[in-house]
Each structure stands twice: as C-alpha cells, then as structure tokens.
C-alpha cells in the first residue's frame, strides 16, 4: 500500500498507513470465520462437515493433534486404519492425550489409565469401533432430566441420518449416511458359542441391538468399512475438505476462549511455537470431549468462581457444573482357557502377524480387518430393572493391561460391566497452565449399588460360560479363577481388576437454567453466555446404556440442525421392545 501526503503531514500519514497495514496483517493472520470448532473428534468432524454444507458460512476446525495420516493411502497410517491394530494407539501418546485419574479409594488406590484421542477423528480413531446407540429409555430419561427435545423419537432420526448400515435401511437403521456400519466377517466359532450359550442361559437373541430390541445376545455392529476403521475423519471430515469454506488445522493447542463481556468472540491457540488468535462471527463451538471441553471452559473463566479464583483466573461466568457430574463405564474381564487352538493367541506370533498384515495391506480382509469384538449382549441384572443394565463384549482372545501385555495362553474372555453406574465424579484444573492435564476423579465404585451390579455381572458371565455351547472349548477359568467364589472374594477381585471402558461423559451436562449443575441448555448453548456452545459427550445429562461413539455422533448431527435453525427431525410412536417379565425375572 502506498500513501502520499502534502503540507508536511507525510510522517503522520505514513504512521497511520502503517498502523492500518499492521491491523490488516494481524486480522489476516488471525482470520475470521462464521464458526470456529475446537476439536476434530467424533463430534467436531461431524459439525465441520454439516455446518460447511452452507456455502455462505465459513468453518475453521482446530485439532490439537496431527492428521490421521491418510494422505490418500491407508497404508501410511496402518496403526489407525487397521481395525485389529487398535491397541497400538491405545498404549502410547502419539495420537493420545494419555490421561490418568487420581488414585481410586474404592479400587485399592489404583491410578486408572484413560486414553483419549488427540488426532483427526479423536477417539473414533482409537476406539474398538463398536457401534452401540444405547437404549431408547436413556434418551427419554434425558428429556426428564431437563434436556427438552432429546427424547428417543427426536434422537433416533439423527442416528439414522448419520448411518449407512450394510444391511440396509429400516425404521431404526440408516441406509445412506456418511458413517458406514458393518457386521463381523470372521464367523469365528467362539462368537457362535457365546451367542448360543447366552440363549441357553435364558436370554433372547436379538437381530439388532440398535433396533427394536436391545435386550439379548447377538452380533454387534462396527464402524468398519471395506476392512478399514471408519472414523468420523473418514466419514465426515475428509469428504468435506474440498469445500472452499472449510479449513482444518492440526497441532493447534487452544488455550482460552476470547470473550467480549459475555460473548465469545474467538479463541487463542498455540501452533508451531506461535500464539495465535482467530475470531468467530457467529459461534465458537467446543467439541473437545468430556475432559478437554470443561478444561477449556475453566481455563477461560467459565466454571465454579471459587475454584477459578484459586488459580487467579478472571471469572467470566460462574457455572459450578463445569467439570462436575463426571460419569464413566467400568468393565472387567472374565477369562477362560480354550481347549482348542482357535483363539487369537497365535496371531501375536511374528509369522502370523506378518501374514495377517500382508493380507490386510493387499486386500483389506482377514483377521486384520476386524477388532474381533463381533458378538455381545445386553441383559437386566435383576427383577424390576426396566431395561438392560449389563453389557457384554465377547472376544476370542485374552487382553492384559489394556493390551500392553501379550497373552501367553489360548484363551477367550467377555468384557462385562454395569451400564448405569451411580458413582459420580468430577474434574478440576491442576493449574492455569493449558498444557497441564486436569485432575480427574471418577469416584469409581463408591456406592453399594455399583458393587452389587458388578458382582452380578461376574456371576452372570460365569453362568453363560457354564452352558453346553462352551463345552467343546471351555478350559479352566483364568480370571477371576476358581478360588474366587464368595461375595467378599468377588468384590476384592473387582476392586483389583476392574478398569475403565473409556466412556467418560456428562461433565458439561445439558439441562434447564434452574438446574445448578447444568452447563448448556437443550440447544447446547452455554448458560449465561452468547456465541458459545458445547457439542460432544460432555453434554449428556447422564450416561447411556452402551458405548459412547454412536451417541456422540448423533448429538453432533442433531446439534448441526439446531445451529442451522432447521426444525428437529421427529419419529413419533416408534416401537420399542418391552419385556413382559420385568417384575418377575431377569
């Protein structure tokens, strides 16, 4: 830019022009977008795709981690995209926040490991790819807890909108959504044995535990397509990146939300050693998950005022619910030796690993193309429970220490645990340093109800493994082991061996303004603030009865319509299975 002046005003004019140039340059560097989304995980990728469908809106997606290294070829990032390789990324911090909890008083003071995704796709790039929605009553309960408009008839259509199930569309399944969902292809005899044994123990078979009838045993759905992990980065983000109004940045550590009074104007972040700011003309949307979203709110002055003052953080909005109401699923492994050499034990041997890897790299088929959690079930622990409160994932292998220790024997196991824990925890800032992990206190097993349900989980798993269908395969019980029989012995085993199922949620709960623990309203706007929403698993008022990835994607799909001002989809009167024996038997 050239500036000319006369009458001795050249110097002043030059200074003004240079100032204008500096402002222009700063604005260009920082940028302004209609929406700034923090977190390219299970929810953020969905929002980036859906909000950028409006060509008049510009969207910036900021991710703290790297790309998932697709670059047109899955072969460049096989540890993410090969389903069977999932434990590699669960056990290091390359794509993983690598969180840990406080020592758990009711679990022998153990520090629990919490892997969370820090990469395009977030935890959908690290998880076991199990696609489970939860029960219809979970969403009806949300409505009663103050999440107006989030009952099952208003959530089911968004599950369908997201999904493309290989079995085709019906009233429960979606047929043409971005998220590809498939069933297992191995036909492993141990999976058949588990489903048959479950029926022999008295539980019904369900043809679709995400459909009319969750209750029972059957085949599980998985977010796998063409033998590859189908994360939200694959399903939503990558197909949308060609749009000129969508930009996705990586290795951006967002450190605070920028406020003008009570309106969110943008965010500040660190990238490549530089501190940058970016502004949102419409909204800032937090999609960092149940740990990162409340942490960023707290760092930005939104949370319990007394806690914020302890860290010398100026209070923008006193919201005591930020970081509270933390809920998670615990699970435990019941394991047996297998009398036949048909488990995945040999797959850990170098020769077989190479063979499996080569088949996957060449054809995307075989044992590398599945996470092997192909069968499972949902049951009620005791009479009077209205809908299933125990979940099974069956695996024809043995897992030790999150997969960090290799199995030494031919064995199979069931992952089992209660679905609606009554133990509730919290997270708080450790310091005002954005790079410091927050203090995580889930308060596991702090109620008698949780211990009762966990005890039942083990007893009922043993009952299934004792059925005739497992006679050809059942060796000695490895875990808990034949010496563990009394309630006291079972309880001691639970406290020593139970572990997180990696389902943290509910730390920015959705609810009405009269709920002192609610952080966002049913439109997911942060109470008392403007231009700021939270869209991820943290907004759940309470845990759902199942895995969290599918519900998180549904939340983002529904939120996208809310943000766009589109009337919510609705399927009134959708039928749901009601057991006739609720009051008399499991």
Examine the pLDDT at 581 and tell me if it is beyond 90. Answer: no
Examine the pLDDT at 217 and tell me if it is beyond 60. Answer: yes
Residue 430 domain flag:
no
Catalytic residue among 318, 387, 503, 527, which?
Answer: 503
pLDDT of residue 338: 98
pLDDT band at 370 (very low <50, low <70, confident <90, very high): very high
pLDDT of residue 26: 37
pLDDT band at 3 (very low <50, low <70, confident <90, very high): very low
Examine the pLDDT at 12 and tell me if it is beyond 70. Answer: no
Examine the pLDDT at 429 and tell me if it is beyond 70. Answer: yes
- Phi and psi at residue 332, to the nearest 5°: -140, 155
pLDDT of residue 586: 60
Q: Which of 40, 48, 476, 555 is nearest to 292 (CA)?
A: 40
Task: Report the first-to-last Cα separation within the chain, whole angstroms.
Answer: 78
Please name the residue that has the structure tokens 């940045």: 249
Q: Give the mean pLDDT of 145-153.
A: 98
Note whether 169 and 160 are within 8 A (CB): yes
Q: Tally the domains of the chain.
A: 1
pLDDT of residue 70: 60
Q: Give the mean pLDDT of 510-515.
A: 96
Q: Express the helix, strand and coil content of the chain in percent, nearest 5 each.
A: 30, 25, 45
pLDDT of residue 72: 52
Q: What is the largest CA-CA distance in the chain?
A: 103
Q: Which two tokens stand for residue 217?
A: 């045993």
Residue 137 domain flag:
yes
Examine the pLDDT at 10 and tell me if it is beyond 60. Answer: no
Residue 416 domain flag:
no
Q: Give the mean pLDDT of 154-171.
A: 98
Examine the pLDDT at 566 and tell me if it is beyond 60. Answer: yes
pLDDT band at 17 (very low <50, low <70, confident <90, very high): very low
Please name the residue that has the structure tokens 């953080």: 313
pLDDT of residue 30: 54
Q: Which two tokens stand for residue 18?
A: 């240079």
Characterize 20-53 residue by residue with b for buried, 16 or more Cβ atoms within 10 angstroms of its Cβ, and e for exposed. Answer: eeeeeeeeeeebebbbbbbbbbbbbbbbbbbbbe
- What is the three-class DSSP state of 322? coil
pLDDT of residue 467: 98
Residue 370 domain flag:
no
CA pair distance 160, 150, nearest whole angstrom:
15
Examine the pLDDT at 9 and tell me if it is beyond 60. Answer: no
pLDDT of residue 31: 84
Q: Give the mean pLDDT of 149-177.
A: 98
- Distances in Å between the Cα of 44 and the Cα atoms of 36, 41, 52, 166 are 10, 5, 12, 25
Residue 241 burial by Cβ neighbours in a 10 Å radius (0-12, 13-18, 19+): middle
Examine the pLDDT at 23 and tell me if it is beyond 50. Answer: no
pLDDT of residue 401: 84
pLDDT of residue 69: 76
pLDDT band at 580 (very low <50, low <70, confident <90, very high): confident
Residue 337 domain flag:
no
pLDDT of residue 20: 35
Q: What percent of the chain has pLDDT over 90?
A: 87
Residue 299 domain flag:
yes
Q: What is the tens place of the pLDDT at every residue in 46-59?
A: 999 999 999 999 99
CATH of residue 535's domain is 3.50.50.60
The overall average pLDDT reported for the chain is 93
Q: Which two tokens stand for residue 450?
A: 């949780």
Examine the pLDDT at 585 and tell me if it is beyond 70. Answer: no
User: What is the residue range of 164's domain?
Assistant: 27-84+112-179+228-323+504-586
pLDDT band at 572 (very low <50, low <70, confident <90, very high): very high
pLDDT band at 452 (very low <50, low <70, confident <90, very high): very high
Q: Which two tokens stand for residue 373?
A: 């959690």
Query: Lowest mean pLDDT: which of 315-324, 341-350, 461-470, 501-510?
Result: 341-350
CA pair distance 234, 428, nearest whole angstrom:
33
Q: Give the mean pLDDT of 313-337.
A: 98
pLDDT of residue 73: 52
pLDDT band at 76 (very low <50, low <70, confident <90, very high): low
Residue 412 domain flag:
no
pLDDT of residue 155: 98
Note whether 559 and 521 are within 8 A (CB): no
Q: What is the tens place of the pLDDT at every residue in 220-279?
A: 999 999 999 999 999 999 999 999 999 999 999 999 999 999 999 999 999 999 999 999
Q: Give the mean pLDDT of 134-147.
A: 98
Residue 495 domain flag:
no
Which of the pair, 405 or 134, is modelled with greater confidence?
134
503 is known as an active-site residue: yes
Q: What is the tens place of the pLDDT at every residue in 516-540?
A: 999 999 999 999 999 999 999 999 9
Q: Which of 211, 218, 186 is nearest to 342 (CA)?
A: 186
């Amino acid at each position: 830019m050239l500036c000319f002046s006369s009458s001795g005003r050249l110097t002043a004019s030059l200074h003004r022009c240079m100032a204008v140039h500096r402002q222009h340059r700063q604005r260009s560097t920082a940028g302004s977008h209609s929406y700034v989304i923090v977190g390219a995980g299970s929810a953020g990728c969905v929002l980036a795709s859906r909000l950028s469908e409006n060509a008049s809106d510009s969207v910036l997606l900021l991710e703290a981690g790297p790309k998932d290294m697709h670059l047109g070829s899955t072969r460049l990032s096989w540890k993410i995209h090969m389903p069977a390789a999932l434990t590699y990324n669960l056990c290091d911090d390359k794509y993983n926040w690598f969180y840990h909890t406080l020592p758990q008083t009711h679990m022998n003071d153990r520090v629990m490991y919490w892997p969370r995704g820090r990469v395009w796709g977030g935890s959908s790039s690290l998880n076991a790819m199990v696609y489970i929605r939860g029960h219809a009553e979970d969403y009806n309960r949300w409505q009663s807890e103050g999440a107006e408009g989030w009952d099952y008839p208003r959530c089911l259509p968004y599950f369908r909108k997201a999904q493309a199930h290989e079995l085709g569309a019906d009233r429960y399944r979606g047929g043409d959504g971005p998220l590809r969902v498939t069933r297992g292809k191995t036909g492993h005899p141990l999976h058949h044995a588990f489903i048959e044994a479950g029926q022999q123990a008295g539980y019904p078979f369900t043809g679709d535990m995400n459909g009319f009838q969750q209750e029972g045993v059957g085949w599980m759905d998985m977010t796998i397509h063409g033998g590859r992990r189908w994360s939200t980065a694959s399903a939503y983000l990558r197909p949308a990146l060609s749009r000129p109004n969508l930009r996705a940045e990586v290795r951006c550590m967002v450190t605070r939300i920028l406020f003008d009074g009570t309106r969110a104007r943008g965010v500040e972040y660190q990238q490549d050693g530089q501190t940058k700011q970016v502004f949102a003309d419409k909204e800032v949307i937090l999609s960092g998950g149940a740990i990162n979203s409340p942490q960023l709110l707290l760092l930005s002055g939104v949370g319990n005022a007394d806690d914020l003052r302890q860290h010398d953080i100026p209070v923008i909005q006193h919201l005591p619910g930020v970081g509270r109401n933390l809920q998670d699923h615990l699970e435990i492994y019941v394991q047996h030796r297998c009398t036949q050499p048909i488990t995945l034990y040999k797959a850990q041997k170098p020769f077989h690993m190479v063979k499996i890897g080569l088949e996957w790299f060449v054809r995307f088929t075989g044992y590398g193309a599945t996470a092997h959690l192909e069968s499972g079930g949902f049951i009620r622990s005791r009479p009077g429970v209205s809908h299933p409160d125990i979940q099974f994932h069956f695996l024809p292998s043995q897992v030790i220490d999150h997969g960090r220790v290799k199995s030494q024997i031919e064995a199979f196991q069931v992952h089992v645990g209660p679905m609606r824990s009554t133990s509730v925890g919290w997270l708080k800032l450790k310091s005002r340093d954005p790079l410091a992990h927050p203090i995580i206190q889930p308060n596991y097993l702090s109620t008698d109800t949780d211990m009762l349900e966990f005890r039942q989980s083990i007893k009922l798993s043993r009952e299934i493994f004792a059925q005739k269908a497992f006679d050809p395969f059942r060796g000695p019980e490895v875990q808990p082991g034949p010496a563990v029989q009394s309630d006291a012995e079972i309880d001691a085993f639970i406290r020593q061996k139970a572990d997180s199922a990696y389902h943290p949620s509910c730390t920015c709960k959705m609810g009405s303004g009269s709920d002192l623990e609610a952080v966002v309203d049913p439109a997911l706007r942060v109470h008392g603030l403007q231009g700021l929403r939270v869209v991820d698993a943290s907004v759940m008022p309470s845990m759902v009865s199942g895995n969290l990835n599918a519900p998180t994607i549904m939340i983002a799909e529904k939120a996208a319509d809310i943000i766009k001002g589109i009337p919510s989809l609705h399927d009134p009167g959708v039928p749901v299975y009601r057991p006739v024996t609720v009051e008399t038997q499991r």
